[in-house]
Structures are given as structure tokens and as C-alpha cells.
Chain A
């Protein structure tokens, strides 16, 4: 077997563009996912039965179906059902938002519920309104416990973007496949792509370690 590692350099600009697209989808997806997750998580934890059940159904539907099916639904089924036509990139971003949102909701709920009831009661007993108890007591404590599982979800979502190959978004994995189709340098190209994913997830891990170390879990 002869390998020619110089092809990596040749295709580096394309690969970097793919990586940029991967990062972009991840960033937009997770930002949205955190907003959706925070709202759904609060609905699950503090909502009345209607809000609680609405959030629960959303979470169970998303957790119970593969993300590939979700993005296929967005991209192929939605135009048929509701004549909403979206481009692959938008479908990819929405898929991450909706998918990560469901998992983050459960993370948020778990963190909030892990904070001892007594602390909230101490705040209420001082005469604080409920929202202030959440903002000043329960929230900051829950946030510290949120970070490790949230970091996990970030890494999962980043890797999930590779599944959007099925709708032809030109993220890193899709880019690799296109290069492959032209020159068949499987070993070199897939090695390079694996390393690029590792660099991205590794940086995320380091960043989270740093934040975790700065914030004691109480």
C-alpha cells in the first residue's frame, strides 16, 4: 500500500471549509438548543401540568427517534406536509436545535432538581418571590452541576452534524466524501478528518475542564 500524505495539504482548504461549516452548525444549533432546553427544562420542573406535559412529549418524541430521521423529516417531509421548504443548512441547524434542546432540557431539569429543597425554602422564608429564588439561589447552584453533562451534549451534537451528510450539507464529513469520490485517497483523507474532529472535540473538552475547575460544585 502506498500512501501519499501530501494530498492532505492539497485538500486542506476544502477540509477547513468543511470544518468551519461543522463548527457553524454546531454553534448555532447549540446556542438555540440551550435556549430551547432551558425553557423546556423549566417547564418540566416548574410548569403546571399543561406546560409540563407539553415539554415531556417534545422530549420523549425527540429522544425516541434518531436524529437522521428528524433531519430527513424536516428536509423532505415538511415541504409535503406544510409546504415549508428549507435549505439543507437550515434543516441541519434546526435539527441540532431541536435535538440538543430535548437532551439539554433533561439536563436542566436534573440539575435544578438536584438542588436541595431546603435552600429554596430558606429563600422563600425570607420573603423572596419565587423567581428571585430561582435566579439568585437555585439557578447559580444548578448551573455548576449543569456544566459536565452539558459538555457531553456539546460533543455529541458536534459529532451528530456528520449525519447531515444524508441531506448534503457540505460539513466536514460530506467534504471528505466528495474529495474521496475524486481521488480515492481513503486512508489519508479519513485520517485527516478524524484528527480534525478530535481537535474540535478536544478543544471543547479542555474548555469545559477549565470552566469546571474555576467553578466549584457546591
Chain B
């Protein structure tokens, strides 16, 4: 069953057409890796899923709820679709633990005690139990991003959206974040990941999408796409990424 359905979705910024009549179904359990040149609309596609950007044409359903169904419904969608940002965006005034407890407390209405107990378990899962009381500026980039993943997971989403989660990290810190993501994929989490990490696409991804000018240019299994030579511009793109 499709958990995300793009039906002829367009997105304009003023006169600029950033998504061009995109049709896309993502099923539960898929790990979709999105690649494409800068400005091709990858971030925009991701941000339309949780309504951080509003679509300007077509319809987009997340777990059968339309992003156009009004603000209350949109908030439901956002609880179903967690997001991890390139710049982490942890709340600087809160400790790692309180960052993770934040969602359950303010969205799900859990008590502080309950939310913190769950948060600690999630920090343990991303390997940061011993950093629970640290503030974001006391953590490395890789640690911050792992806290950010735990924060998104705390609201118990059905889908996780990642927008270049390792792009802001030094090479030696990327792997710890990718490992957490790999574990998540192995647990069966549905994921949409914008990344240039082609080894992640190859080994963790179940589907690879190449975007170009707001359109899906190539869509298929990572192994087949990376082995074959279907699209010359994709080949060109991959040469630059490596």
C-alpha cells in the first residue's frame, strides 16, 4: 500500500516551476534515495510531503491524508512524517534529552516524565545515552544529527524524510549517522533520503530516483540504475559525485 502518493504534483515559486507534474508512489518499507543536480527540486519535493512547502498543483497524499486538507490535517501528516535537516536544527536551549522529549510532550501531550523516559531509550538507540544532558553546542555535528534523528523518531512517524543529513558533516562523522539510518532501514522504516552518498544508495536504498528540472528522470532499483547506462545525464551526474 502506498504511504506517499504524488498525483500530478506541481510546485511554483512565483513564476519558477520547481516541481513539474510529478507522479510518484512510495510504498511502506521502501527506502527511496533521491539524487539530482543542485536546484533540480529534491528538497522541495521532500518539503512538500510534510507541507513545509505548499504544492501549487495536483494532490499529494500521505497515509491517505491530503496535504491540502487544512491545517489540522497537515499537522497529522507532520506527525506521520518525521524530518531530518541538513543543518540539524536542534533547539539550542534544550539538552539532547529534552530535544528528543520535545515532540512527544508538545505534540502527543505526554507528561515530561514519560517523554523523557522514552527519549532516553531513543538516545540509547542512536548511541548517545551518555550525552543526554549535553546541550547541542557541546556535541559534535555527527552527534547532533543523531539526536535530531531521535527527536524525529520520538513522535513515532511512519515515514522519515532526510534532506542531505550528512552534507554538513566532516567525512569521519558521516558514517556514524549513516549507520543509524541503515539500522532504521533494516527495522523496516519507510524512508525518503536526499543524499550524495552513493554507497548508502547502493547498499541501503531499495529504490533510486534521479531528478532533473523538477521531473523524475530515472526511477528504479539502485543496482540496476548504477550498473546500467540508461541516462547520459545521470551518468554525467554520477561521475561528478564520485
Say yes or no: is A13 at the interface (Cβ < 8 Å to chain B).
no
| Chain B interface (Cβ < 8 Å from any Cβ of A) | 50, 52, 71, 75-76, 78-79, 82-83, 85, 87, 89-93, 102-103, 106-107, 137, 148, 151-152, 155
Check if A127 sits within 8 Å of B92, measured CB to CB.
no
User: Quick check: A127 and B76 within 8 Å, CB to CB?
Assistant: yes
Distance to closest chain A CB from B91 (angstroms): 6
In the assembled complex, the Cα of A119 lies from the Cα of B82 at a distance in Å of: 14
Least Cβ–Cβ distance between A213 and chain B, in angstroms = 16
Q: Pull 9 A–B residue pairs with CB atoms less than 8 Å apart, ordered by A.
A: A118-B85, A121-B52, A122-B151, A124-B52, A125-B78, A125-B152, A126-B155, A127-B78, A137-B91
Q: A71 to nearest B CB, angstroms?
A: 40
| Complex Cα spacing A132 to B108, Å | 13
B79 touches A126 (CB 8 A): yes
| Residues of A contacting B71 in the complex (Cβ-Cβ under 8 angstroms) | 129
Main secondary structure of the interface of A (DSSP, over half): helix
With A121-B52, A218-B93 known as contacts, the answer to whether A129 contacts B85 (CB < 8 A) is no
CA A171 to CA B146, docked complex, whole Å: 59
Contact (Cβ within 8 A) B85 A122: yes
Does A140 make an interface contact (CB < 8 A)? yes
Question: A136 within 8 Å of B by Cβ?
Answer: yes
Report the separation of the CA atoms of residues A156 and B191 in the bound assembly, to the nearest whole angstrom. Answer: 55
**Cβ contacts under 8 Å, A127 to chain B:** 75-76, 78-79, 103, 107, 155
Taking the nearest CB of chain A, how far is it from the CB of B237, in angstroms? 27
Q: Mark A110-143, 1 if CB is under 8 A from B, else 0.
A: 0000001011011111111100100011001100
5 closest residue pairs by CB, A with B: A127-B79, A122-B89, A218-B92, A127-B78, A125-B83
Assuming A125-B52, A127-B78, is B107 touching A116 (CB within 8 A)?
no
